[in-house]
Structures are given as C-alpha cells and as structure tokens.
Amino acid sequence: MSKQRYLSWVVMLLAMLMVGYGAKHDRETAVFNNEEVEMPVNLTNLPDLQVLGVSTEPKRIQVDLTEQRLYAFEGDRLIFNFIISSGKWGKTPEGVFSIWGKFKYTKMEGGSKTLHTYYYLPNVPYVMFFANEEVAASKGFSIHGTYWHNNFGQPMSHGCINMKTEEAAQLYQWAGSIGTKVIIYGQFDTPQS
C-alpha cells in the first residue's frame, strides 16, 4: 500500500470515528439552535442516483459566498448551479480544497447551548468533507444536504455548505470519487436594517 493511500485510509477512518459514521443514536429527534426539528424517518434507503453521460474533463465545485451559490463544472462547462447556505455561526473557509471523504449520511453535533447555537443532527445526508493544508480534515467542513431549514440564500450553518437535499444528492453522485476540487470564495454581506 502506498504512503498516500495509507494516509487517506487513516484520515477516512478518523473521520468516521469523529462524526459517528454508522453509529446508532439514542435520540429520536434532531436539534438545531437548541430547538427540536423534524428528522427524516429513514435515510438508509437513499437512492443511488446516476448522472447520465461520462466526461473526461476535470470536475470542480465552486462556492460563491457573496451570492450564496454553488457551481459544478466539468472543464469549462457548467453542470449545476444551486442555491446554498454558508456559515453564519462559524465562518466558511475560503480557498482551494479537495474532497477527502464522502458519506451517504452521518451525524453532526456541535455549537453551544449557552449561545443557542447547539445542534445535534443525526442522518445528515450526502456529506462530502473537504480540507486543504491550512484547513485540516479534523475541522469537519463539508458540503451536505439539509433537512432542518429551508432558508437557502442566507448564511445558516456553523461553517458547512448547506444544500437542498435533492440537489446535494445530485452533486454527491456527480462528484464521483475522493479528490474533486472545491474552490470557495467571496463574502456574504448582511443587509443593513
């Protein structure tokens, strides 16, 4: 086994332990900002969607934080253009990243009960973790489906890229294997009241 393949395997194993991959959860409810939210009943039967056509062009995902949009390209050809929600309680990192792990669903938990930013979200669907040399994989930044809000176009996350679940499913299937480039740029300006 090559050193790079071994390191990738170790990182993925650590990530699985970190996010509770495949773990059974005692809770029957999800929590977002200290409030219970409806959780999908069963995500274990999520469909494997197939994207028609095969391309040899390099794939990349671009996230525009200013416009709250995600664009997926094959070469110079735009494949997807989706609305997203980026970080509100935690800054979404900017830069060039690579997808290092893909999980059909996983648990995410964090925030602060005191600050009313606590979340416990079992079965977050279509998760693609990304990292680079400045932003470690252990930070847990990802692109994923979202069942706990519908306020897309506005920052709503703790740093991740929230997407509509059906669009996250399309992107998850399209992105293919580990290593797809993710470029994040811009800054969301909150409108003055």
Q: Are 55 and 74 in contact (CB under 8 A)?
A: yes
Residue 52 has pLDDT above 60, yes or no: no
Q: Are 101 and 137 in contact (CB under 8 A)?
A: yes
Query: What is the homologous superfamily of the domain 3-40+57-185 according to CATH?
Result: L,D-transpeptidase catalytic domain-like (2.40.440.10)
Q: Would you kindly state where each structural domain of the chain is located, as residue ranges? A: 3-40+57-185
pLDDT tens-digit readout, 75-103: 999 999 999 999 997 799 999 999 999 99
| Share above pLDDT 70 across residues of the chain, in percent, rounded to a whole number | 76
pTM equals 0.76
What is the spatial distance between Cα 68 and Cα 125, in angstroms, rounded to a whole number? Answer: 20
Residue 3 has pLDDT above 80, yes or no: no
C-alpha distances in angstroms, 114 versus 96, 110, 118, 129, 140?
A: 33, 12, 8, 27, 22
30-32 and 35-37 strand pairing? antiparallel
Q: Which position has the token pair 């996010």? A: 19
**Cα within 13 Å of Cα(87), Cβ side:** 18
Which of 9-13, 40-44, 164-168, 181-185 is predicted least confidently?
A: 9-13
Burial of 191 from C-beta contacts in 10 A (0-12 / 13-18 / 19+): exposed
What is the spatial distance between Cα 182 and Cα 193, in angstroms, rounded to a whole number? Answer: 33
